[in-house]
Amino acid sequence: MKAMRKALSVIRRAHSGAVELGLPNVIKAYNLGLYILLLEMDWSTLSWDMMHATNEWRRKFVARQMAIFLYEASEDLPQLLGRDYREALTSLDIENEFLNELGQVSRQLSRFKQTNEGFLKRIRHFVGAHRDHDAAAQLDVLDNLEPLKVYGLAGDFYVPLRALVDLQVRLTPMIGNNQTLLRQYLKKDQ
């Protein structure tokens, strides 16, 4: 967790610098880095909570938070990796191999979402966000909730997330190198 906090601090400073310079494509690239670091930190916390839960109610509570996390992240990440992000990377002269790798990660995330959306949405709707006011239905979902099943889905989600983290780690020095930043700065007023 200490390394993630340090990485978050470094990328946050770089993001702030890009904001000060008014470099929208660099901002988009750093934004994704910040977003996935926040996801990683939140998931680490949820995992710790699951492993240290002392009773069934607590395990189910953490499982509900995990379901919300997985549902929302699997919905939001493909949007963040969409056309705007790819155009930003193209404008930063990022090579096609990275864009192809990004496409593979995006497809993996979409498959995860398609496969698990119904299951996660039901948990999120009934007992995560308490959107449905039918308490009997909420109790039914809770009675049938298997915390380890939800936790197990994380492995399927973590594969593309980890690939995205690795990709972002390789992209970050390219995004922040002086030549790239100078080219972006010179382009901004055109």
User: Structural domain tally of the chain?
Assistant: 1
pLDDT at residue 111, as a whole number = 94
Which residues in the chain come in under a pLDDT of 50? none
The structure's pTM equals 0.90
Dihedral (C-alpha) 123, 128, 133, 137: value to the nearest 10 degrees? 30
CA 20 to chain CA centroid, nearest Å: 25
In terms of residue numbers, what domain contains 42?
A: 2-187
pLDDT at site 131: 82
pLDDT at 190: 67
pLDDT tens per residue, range 36-56? 999 999 999 999 999 999 999
Which residue is listed with tokens 């790819």?
A: 86
146 φ/ψ angles, rounded to the nearest 5 degrees: -110, 105
Token pair in block for residue 109 = 């995330």
Mean pLDDT of the chain: 92
How far from 146 is each of 48, 70, 130, 183, CA to CA, in Å? 17, 15, 18, 52
